[in-house]
Structure 1
């Protein structure tokens, strides 16, 4: 069996697709009632199964009509695929998932010996990462193997496995976004020295602070979002930046504030995906205002009841999302 998905064209912000979301109307569907014909065989078919060929992308699924689909890589950055399957007489789609999916009889339904078995198959292209401008050809590839078995779950002599193909399709992307200004790319921010006497307990801050800013130049009509990530502890989702390996001090951390705000920035994963943890809205570019600047302040904060004096080093990154 071969499935052809519709060509897909994207024009707009690079991160406008939710990860795990179908790309436009990029789908294809086919039904074949006689993928396996048992008339001339020694046994009838009682079961059918589908086996994926690729390994799913970790942590990413596509949800549709109550079914969760693992997403598989196409080989093109930012684009994956999912495969839905069902018996032609069944109403609910199931996902082709590891290690296999029984297709006939459908889960919860009784089966019987069949003189033939078929499949209904659908495929969708799915967003897996930021889309980059260009024209991409997704090569034809085998995405699943379909198999029939007798009442004893054994292969039937003369009935070979059937491969399910995704035919080649073209994806055209014209993605708009921003560029970080040269002065913002790599910055060293120095805070004045502080004395232990300036802190009054866990959560207290010293008076010293240092200002810095990060700026991007954008195409018009881009909604810019950002996530700060703790480079030392990337899983950190608190509002306190961890000390780096070069630090000699203990009981001290850093908080980063957007200028004019009293609530510190919370850290999140290094991802440009929409709705990333602790991602915040920065602003929207326009034809007349393509530069967006974010001013920050850095402050010391006490993190433990006892402070050990010494050198303080910490590092963070900022990831922009163009929506």
Structure 2
């Protein structure tokens, strides 16, 4: 039985600088939650649709205190008017998010979208009780707390910027934009708008060009006995990834499981087929023979499971090797022969 493994290496290189500053406001029906975003700088050798779904920033959070009338039972809801601008999805650590496009007043896409997660603590003046956990926003109406009597609530908003794949112009100004409404529903009603403040996006054409050889690896014929005796079987040749970069930039890399972009473990997810092998997985080792853990496609330094490729003072042309192998995921009795295909991509971030 031939158990092929396929690696697809997509060159994705983005440099950015993003900072979100949230204004914490005491609750009032007439005042809104303002989300301030610093100017965004995108640096990339080529603009292509392959950047769709890349994270351009990390999570930025703000805790907002929302007051309630004593002895009143209410439920907190978030209604996203931005839902009509949904342009795709994003997965991270097992959670799926809707990506909302950021457009100007004429409806032109900025090429940048956002995802949102919300959690809350309900509080009495004597203290607060447990959070309902981080909720990935993907519905028009999202209940973010149960119906209870409470004096005030602490609502935590976390925002991340995502590339939509649309062209990012050399210079672009995003206006203020109401993205939703936070509401009390119950015996007392109140609304509070959620506004993302305007910011500027600038794109500079520079970065690295990447290539991988081989980009498709055939592992050959691997018997069950061979795998169970050694617990892992390596490919005959490693994958060599080469970079040609502009001067003075540091480069970081991360790998993404294309069958499950939210996978943050060491084993890739096998592509389903009519005869998928069981009890076996594909993984990659780095040059120190350590297993690589996967993460979302992120174009910012500091992303999950990212590693450093070169510093800004290193030569502009560098390369590194990845070592694919099959590995048992359980006991020998769990291994069933069949197809074991997997795909991964590599994303590069600059500093």
Distance 1:198 1:274, change over 3 A: same
Residue 250 of structure 2: aligned partner: 223
Distance 1:225 1:62, change over 3 A: same
Larger radius of gyration: 1
Rounded Cα–Cα distance in structure 2 between residues aligned with 1:289 and 1:144: 47
After TM superposition, the structure 1 = structure 2 runs for residues 25-44 of structure 1, keeping only pairs within 5 Å, are none
Question: Are 1:312 and 2:345 an aligned pair?
Answer: no
Alignment check: 8 A CA contact 1:268 1:277 kept:
yes
Which of 168, 171, 174 is the equivalent residue of 1:135? 171
Residue 17 of structure 1: aligned partner: 17
SS at match of 1:198: helix
SS at match of 1:277: coil
Higher relative contact order (CA 8 A, sep 6+): 2
Deviations 1:131-188 (A, max 9, x none): 956111334666799xxxxxxx999xxxxxxx9999977554436422223x56x921
Task: Give the deviation of 1:256 after TM superposition.
Answer: 0.7
Instruction: Provide structure 1 residue ranges, at least 5 long, that are not aligned to the other structure.
Output: 1-12, 29-46, 81-97, 100-107, 110-125, 146-152, 156-162
Question: Are 1:296 and 2:330 an aligned pair?
Answer: no
Rounded Cα–Cα distance in structure 2 between residues aligned with 1:205 and 1:169: 50
Alignment check: 8 A CA contact 2:219 2:236 kept:
yes
Residue correspondences, number: 233
After TM superposition, the structure 1 = structure 2 runs for residues 52-91 of structure 1, keeping only pairs within 5 Å, are 62-63=60-61, 74-75=102-103, 76-78=110-112
Rounded Cα–Cα distance in structure 2 between residues aligned with 1:198 and 1:165: 59
Question: Are 1:321 and 2:321 an aligned pair?
Answer: no
Alignment check: 8 A CA contact 2:34 2:195 kept:
no
Q: TM-score with structure 1 length normalisation?
A: 0.54
Rounded Cα–Cα distance in structure 2 between residues aligned with 1:276 and 1:321: 9
Residue 174 of structure 1: aligned partner: 204
Q: TM-score with structure 2 length normalisation?
A: 0.50
Residue 280 of structure 2: aligned partner: 252
Rounded Cα–Cα distance in structure 2 between residues aligned with 1:278 and 1:154: 44
Residue 300 of structure 2: aligned partner: 273
Alignment check: 8 A CA contact 1:268 1:278 kept:
yes
Instruction: Provide structure 2 residue ranges, at least 5 long, that are not aligned to the other structure.
Output: 1-12, 36-56, 66-77, 83-100, 104-109, 115-140, 143-150, 153-158, 182-187
Distance 1:283 1:133, change over 3 A: farther
SS at match of 2:31: strand
Distance 1:134 1:310, change over 3 A: same
SS at match of 1:317: strand
SS at match of 2:217: coil
Question: Are 1:283 and 2:310 an aligned pair?
Answer: yes
Alignment check: 8 A CA contact 1:249 1:309 kept:
yes
Residue 232 of structure 1: aligned partner: 259
Task: Give the deviation of 1:14 after TM superposition.
Answer: 3.9
CA RMSD for the aligned pairs? 4.9
Distance 1:291 1:285, change over 3 A: farther
Deviations 1:234-291 (A, max 9, x none): 22211112221245322111121123x12111111222233221111111355x8322
Task: Give the deviation of 1:67 after TM superposition.
Answer: 5.6
Residue 30 of structure 2: aligned partner: 49
Which of 193, 196, 200 is the equivalent residue of 2:221? 193
